Structure 1
Amino acid sequence: MPSYTVAEARDVGAMAGRYQLGGAREVLRRSASSTLGLFDIFLSHSFHDAELILGVRDILQRTGKRVYVDWIDDPLMDRSHVTKATAERLRARMDQCSAMVYAATRAASTSKWMPWELGYFDGQKGREAIAIMPLLEVSGQSVGQEYIGVYPTIERSSTGAPELTQRENGRILSKSLDDMVRARGGFAWKNTF
């Protein structure tokens, strides 16, 4: 199964923002969900990938999942002045989410927050509730940061929908986003040779 490309996710984001005054960032701000309640997915990403993240969020939401993005769902959080309260707010939001998707991009490799979010989420929910979504410039490219290789990846299935894959002993195992969101109750990997 192929990974999603940067161009593909950016095109989805651009399409969503094309007819909106203010572009992708404004669409995201206006579509913010309630600051109360639970989310299915915490989207860990680099703030520098706004239009790209709009596309990723849309791809994930097409599966019926509620996706938390910090600067969308908490627009008053001041990213330029990070405090202990900022970290506490992000912890509380991660606790409200069932699963995490880590958007692995070139900009992600320079993020100081993403490794912290990944470590916190893994410690709280376990690695079965985490998936890496590599967004590649070209197919087959590496996303770097070897430590993210312990998590399954989100790839495009034959139907075009996102699916989680894990490669083990030459076999490809897969599960759906529904399985990941329900990970606390257990899940099963399926063989997909």
Structure 2
Amino acid sequence: MFCSEPVLGGEESKSDHVASDGINVYQSYGPSGQFTHEFDGDEEFYVDLEKKETVWRLPMFSTFASFDPQGALRNLAITKQNLNILIKLSNYTAATNVEPTVTVYPTKTRPLQHHNLLVCSVNGFYPGHIEVRWFRNGQEEEAGVVSTGLIRNGDWTFQTLVMLETVPRSGEVYTCQVEHPSLTSPLLELHGVPGSSSIHVEVAELSEL
């Protein structure tokens, strides 16, 4: 819950002052909640939920203002109740990271030194935050790369196809690199193509932003 109210500094003032009154935060895991009050971007006070007392960050306001911490506790209790109702209405299930399945293949079986489309199929992953890149002999390929974007599977997971148009030559190594938050260690998979070229797929952890 959030409310902003302008506090005028006088008739000749060219800019208003803004007080952010009663910022209530509650989440279903981690810290049980937060209640703060800000003035012009500075935290004026917050409520210590364990000690059930108001802590002033800007002492000047405490000389002419007061805040009952019980009000913050009541607001957080209401916020918690509303969150639980929304969870039930949305048929909520706890979100868990699901690792992707990665397959690399050429669209056509052709001799070397002919145009071909290499496909990196990434399927069954959650959440949808994912990065897929193509490399040729260790150098990233940006030209000729086409992606379908995220496709929903209908069961909360996603899939995507990232394709590279190229002319494979003998001795070249193509790498499809996939980064995703579900992965805790690199996963390597090899896929051979006709001749001495090979396609290499690398799956690695994607750091949270």
TM-score bucket of the superposed structures, by smaller chain: under 0.3
Give 1 or 2: higher helix fraction: 1
TM score, norm. by length of structure 2: 0.21
TM score, norm. by length of structure 1: 0.23
Give 1 or 2: higher strand fraction: 2
